[in-house]
Amino acid sequence: MAPSLAPAASSAQGAKVLPIALAAILFLWASPALSDPATTIDSSRAPQTHGADVQTPAWERTLRLVRQAFPEVPQMSTQQLAAMREDDTAPDILLLDARSSTEFKVSHLPGAVLASNTRMALEVLDASDPVRTVVVYCSVGYRSSRLAEKLRARGIENVFNLEGSLFQWANEGRPLYRGEERVYQAHPYDEEWGQLLDRRFWAD
């Protein structure tokens, strides 16, 4: 199945939306609406995010706002990525991890290459097969969408953001690695954003 694309908009519009969306994301985390019993994210227990069809309101808002902040960046779901990795006829995939080296060392998607910034990403791409499908991810998709946007601005068109990124991948029980070793922990980024990651996967 071919990855679906996010709605298109001009790059000028995207530049304006970016700071607005970031502020909106931060506002939503602090919003009184999250204190409602139906939408509370209790940091003492794992959020109910198992499976793509079971999202908390905070997850839904986060995914929506990432799309709004980066309207020109195509989004690939975790299900689509998993299916492509198992399909021998699908194009080769280059996974770029847009997180920090500290986060990457805890765990990453199988076969991923660390690319925390545009320079690192371009170096990896220069040494890779140009026909590959490039999928960028981070913790929830914000940093990776920003990197994907910069790569697309440089003329690299076959670039997708992994929607929900590593947190959603882990929440769905998909494999994480530390080098060649299968692991079951992920870096939560911080106490606040880590609430979107099932507590069972938090690194000590």
- Domain at 11-201: CATH code: 3.40.250.10
Q: Are 193 and 105 in contact (CB under 8 A)?
A: no
Residue 174, CA distances (Å) to 41, 117, 120, 183, 193 in order: 23, 25, 26, 11, 20
| Tens place of pLDDT per residue across the chain (204 aa) | 444 444 334 344 444 444 444 444 544 443 333 323 222 223 333 333 333 334 789 999 999 999 999 999 999 999 999 999 999 888 899 999 999 999 999 999 999 999 999 999 999 999 988 878 999 999 999 999 999 999 999 999 899 999 999 999 999 999 999 999 999 999 999 999 999 999 999 998
198 SS3 class = coil
Give this prediction's pTM.
Answer: 0.75
Burial class (CB in 10 A: 0-12, 13-18, 19+), 126: exposed
